[in-house]
Amino acid sequence: MTRGKGLRSQVVRSATVAEVATRMVPFQGWRFAPELPLADVITPPYDVIGPEAQQRFFFRHPYNVVRVILPHVAALPGDPPDPYTAAAHRWRAWQQAGVLRRDEAPGFYVLRQEFSVPHGGRHVRVGIIGRFALRPWGEGILPHERTFPTAKADRLALLKATGVHFSPIFLLYSDPEGLTEALLNTMVTEMPVATFTDDDGVTHTLWRVTRPDWVDAIQHLLRGRVFYVADGHHRYETALAYRRWCRQQVGHLPSDPPFDYVLAYATAMEQSGVVILPTHRAIRNPRPVSPSQVLAAAARAYTVEPVYDDTVLMQWVLRRTPGEPALALVFPTGPAYRLRLRLTTSPVLHMLGTMSSFVAHLTVYHLQHFILGPVLGIPEAPDAQKQWVSYSPDAARLVREVRSGRWDMVALVAPTSIDQLRAIAEAGQVAPPKATYFYPKLPAGLVMDQVGPQ
């Protein structure tokens, strides 16, 4: 524990030294023409759009942003054979046709999202969208998750072709006094520039902030803060790679080039509207394993209790609190099982003694350490996880699917807490893949930033 605290202090000091260089600046965003139906052209971020949703968005509207953020979905007549080149051609054609319009003056954007969660009532989250100055990890910006190399290669190819950030990464910072939230609430009394409600019932409302005194106030309040990446680790690392690539291409480096920035949304982690949903696991076994083998291995570290009614199971899952060391396993047939970590057993004590306590207390790490790795042979490496594990916050859907035989096993986990995320990031650690699911997601296409050549 002492070693973990020392590392945490070291990383926090490193971030504090560089935080003076961390900044958000206003910019001229590209947005869809106001006469277009926003709910038909805007989507969630690329990485949460499954195959069925890809097709749905593609055919929903000829200008749906999925046609540029996921250009592999379907080719159109006359498209270049390379999908990234096709996305770039489509983007430029939309600009020329007036489908996309650039705001006349630089500014910040305030995004308000009103939403509901299961058994959690109605919530509101408000934050700032701007350009965030790129810095290496640890210099005022801290990650908490591993990234997938294949995903970064895909995003870099798209960014090189288009030069556009289509959706903001999601940053958190600490503001226990609520100063920025109070400031933003004074700025959203005028008419918004965009509003729509998405397929999940989330209402997104966007305001532009161009008044010089308000722009200065936002920059002042965000100056000197350490930022934590909630969502967008892949896109942040892609932006760093794109900056290096651009500097190699440019003979004479311009002053403060736009490719030195990434599009970002920042909000205070203390807001009640900052919600982390659990990221449940749907698993295809890489080798033949019976439920009895899985449960026998689990019993070394967990108390195991059968549940014969899936409705009762779902009620139990929804009552789990963030950070709670409990999970449930569901198989195609037979009862489900509730599991609670036994913190006094020797396997658990050994794990807690050898791992950073910040990571070892995560429910998703328990699952990996005691079941997915030793029993199923699924490594923790991101690409291996991607081959055998699918992720979703929708427990009810996954239970239906595993009962229908689509999956070999489903693991329903408690959500990671904000305190756990912050502690892991400050300790210089990384959580297992998909340890968090921030909700709601930030929309792609609502406001975009062209940082490459126009």
User: pLDDT digit string (tens) for 89-133?
Assistant: 999 999 999 999 999 999 999 999 999 987 778 899 999 999 999
Q: Residue 331 domain-assigned?
A: yes
- 């990221």: which residue's tokens? 279
Q: Residue 42 domain-assigned?
A: no
Asked whether residue 257 falls in the same domain as residue 324, the answer is: no
CA angle 376, 148, 76 (to 5 degrees): 115
Asked whether residue 366 falls in the same domain as residue 398, the answer is: yes
Residues contacting residue 311 through CB under 8 Å, at least 6 positions apart: none
Q: Residue 61 domain-assigned?
A: no
How much is the pLDDT for 26? 97
**Cα pseudo-dihedral 42, 58, 241, 146, rounded to 10:** 80
Residue 299 domain boundaries: 279-414
Closest of 432, 403, 436 to residue 421, by C-alpha = 436
Mean pLDDT, residues 285-314: 93
User: pLDDT digit string (tens) for 347-399?
Assistant: 777 766 666 666 777 888 889 888 999 999 999 887 788 889 999 999 999 99
State how far the Cα of 378 lies from the Cα of 371, in Å rounded to an integer. 9
* Max CA distance (Å), the chain: 69
pLDDT confidence bin for 67, thresholds 50/70/90? very high
State how far the Cα of 377 lies from the Cα of 309, in Å rounded to an integer. 29
77 vs 287 pLDDT, higher one: 287
How much is the pLDDT for 54? 93
Asked whether residue 305 falls in the same domain as residue 397, the answer is: yes
Q: Residue 98 domain-assigned?
A: yes
Asked whether residue 164 falls in the same domain as residue 254, the answer is: yes
Please check the confidence at residue 3 and state whether its pLDDT lies above 60: no
The dihedrals phi and psi of 148, each to the nearest 5 degrees, come to -100, 120
Asked whether residue 147 falls in the same domain as residue 172, the answer is: yes
How much is the pLDDT for 4? 37
Per the structure, how many domains does the chain have? 2
| 3 state SS of 375 | coil
Please check the confidence at residue 454 and state whether its pLDDT lies above 70: no
Asked whether residue 214 falls in the same domain as residue 290, the answer is: no
Contact 407, 282 (CB under 8 A): yes
347 vs 72 pLDDT, higher one: 72
User: pLDDT digit string (tens) for 196-249?
Assistant: 999 999 999 999 999 999 999 999 999 989 999 999 999 999 999 999 999 998
Asked whether residue 291 falls in the same domain as residue 384, the answer is: yes
350 vs 324 pLDDT, higher one: 324
Mean pLDDT, residues 166-191: 92
Q: Residue 68 domain-assigned?
A: no
State how far the Cα of 66 lies from the Cα of 60, in Å rounded to an integer. 10
Q: Residue 180 domain-assigned?
A: yes
State how far the Cα of 425 lies from the Cα of 141, in Å rounded to an integer. 9
Please check the confidence at residue 19 and state whether its pLDDT lies above 60: no
Task: Tell me which DSSP letter residue 282 carries.
Answer: E
Asked whether residue 300 falls in the same domain as residue 254, the answer is: no
Please check the confidence at residue 451 and state whether its pLDDT lies above 80: yes
Positive or negative: CA dihedral 422, 423, 426, 428: negative
426 vs 5 pLDDT, higher one: 426
Asked whether residue 386 falls in the same domain as residue 351, the answer is: yes
Closest of 409, 407, 403, 431 to residue 419, by C-alpha = 431
How much is the pLDDT for 366? 85
User: pLDDT digit string (tens) for 137-157?
Assistant: 999 999 998 787 888 999 999
Asked whether residue 256 falls in the same domain as residue 284, the answer is: no
Contact 228, 421 (CB under 8 A): yes
End-to-end CA distance of the chain: 52
Contact 452, 164 (CB under 8 A): yes
3-state secondary structure 81-118: CCHHHHHHHHHHHHHHCCCEEECCCCEEEEEEEEEEEC
Mean pLDDT, residues 181-195: 90
Q: Residue 399 domain-assigned?
A: yes
Q: Residue 431 domain-assigned?
A: no
pLDDT confidence bin for 334, thresholds 50/70/90? very high
Asked whether residue 257 falls in the same domain as residue 303, the answer is: no
Asked whether residue 203 falls in the same domain as residue 253, the answer is: yes
Closest of 38, 13, 2 to residue 444, by C-alpha = 38
Please check the confidence at residue 6 and state whether its pLDDT lies above 50: no
Question: Mean pLDDT over all residues of the chain?
Answer: 89
Please check the confidence at residue 17 and state whether its pLDDT lies above 70: no
How much is the pLDDT for 270? 95
State how far the Cα of 336 lies from the Cα of 20, in Å rounded to an integer. 52
Ordered strands of the 389-392 beta sheet: 302-307, 336-341, 326-330, 409-413, 280-283, 389-392
97 vs 342 pLDDT, higher one: 97
